Amino acid sequence: MIAIESLSKRYPRVTALDRLTVGVEPGVTGLVGANGAGKSTLIKILLGLAPATEGTASVLGMDVATQGGAIRERVGYMPEHDCLPPDVSATEFVVHMARMSGLPTTAARERTADTLRHVGLYEERYRPMGGYSTGMKQRVKLAQALVHDPRLVLLDEPTNGLDPVGRDEMLGLIRRVHTDFGISVLVTSHLLGELERTSDHIVVIDGGKLLRSSTTADFTQRTAVLAVEVTDTDAHPDGTAALREALRQAGCTPHDPGPAGAVAPGAGHLVTLDLADESVYDTVRDTAAHLGLGLVRMEQRRHQISEVFTERSAGDVA
């Protein structure tokens, strides 16, 4: 879908992309990096909207330096920032964008109705967008990226500003863009954890450089951590300490609790351990039951982008 070869973008005072080489296959690909990592810059270059300083890139086999117009005909783009005119309705706006992409009026209207329904906008689609919630605006932005039935969409921080429920809904919609319509997706986020469930493949960049590119399964395996919360009992007044010790004896690798001052609020009752494979869940359940501790929750920890950076500084880069 996308081939990027030694791509650099230098602004007078900052290098936004630094000899980046990476490929994007069909499916859903998450592009993850902290704010300022170079994600938006990369998307603008891929759309042919900004020139690279050096290196090459192609999208659907077309050169970004010379075929920007043709790329934009076949690719949908959801920009990061609010860009919707407040005084027109979602329907008017998306029809307009469909017409701009070359669809005849009737087809543009039909596609608009279908696409807005797909993203979950119904009666509200006739109201001016100035009165929309952030979630509704994000849905309209997604709809206009999809309306001309592109082969690939580039989504820049689509979950920005959404609450946890809105975030999950948006991630579900993004997954369905691929499963229902076969459209490939490149989606950016500054949070690694939120794209783990949505993406087949994850590319991490930092300071414009490639940090890692691998399938989500590989990623999860490499960083999987299980967090377990248990109750204290009379027999085990420090339930987490008892569980940690028992898990170690059972052959698991619980992590050291760390210095008291470094423990995050509420983390004092959590034991974290490597999630080597599915059997760890059973071992934790059996161990907690054996000790007579109440098992409050067991969850695979959601990873923050900072953990990837920590791994990198430890020299553990694939």
Ligand X SMILES: Nc1ncnc2c1ncn2[C@@H]1O[C@H](COP(=O)(O)OP(=O)(O)OP(=O)(O)O)[C@@H](O)[C@H]1O
Binding site for ligand X (CB under 6 A): 11, 14, 16, 33, 35-41, 157, 190
Q: How many CA atoms lie within 13 A of 222 on its CB side?
A: 17
CB of 54 to ligand X, least distance (A): 16
Neighbours of 71 (CB within 10 A): 23
Cβ atoms 120, 139 nearer than 8 A: yes
The kind and range of the H/E element at 282 are helix 279-291
**Structural element, H or E, at residue 151:** none
**Least gap, CB of 213 to ligand X (angstroms):** 16
Which residue in this structure is represented by tokens 């980046």? Answer: 20
Nearer to ligand X, 37 or 90 (CB): 37
Q: How far is the CB of 60 from ligand X (least distance, A)?
A: 22
Residue placing its CB nearer to ligand X in the complex, 26 or 36: 36
Kindly tell me which of 14 and 289 has the beta carbon lying closer to ligand X: 14
Nearest distance in Å: CB 49, ligand X: 11
Q: What are the angstrom distances between the C-alpha of 313 and each of 206, 210, 212, 271? A: 12, 14, 13, 24
- Residue 247, Cβ neighbours under 10 Å: how many? 20
Distance CA 174, CA 198 (A): 7
- Whose Cβ is closer to ligand X: residue 193's or residue 257's? 193
Terminal alpha carbon distance of the chain: 23
Q: Nearer Cβ to ligand X, position 157 or 229?
A: 157
In angstroms, what is the minimal distance from the CB of 210 to ligand X?
13
CB of 7 to ligand X, least distance (A): 12
CB contact at 8 A, 155 and 142: yes
> Locate tokens 């809105």: which residue?
166
Q: How far is the CB of 52 from ligand X (least distance, A)?
A: 12
Contact call for residues 197 and 217 (beta carbons, < 8 A): no
Phi, psi torsion values for 238, nearest 5 degrees: -115, 85
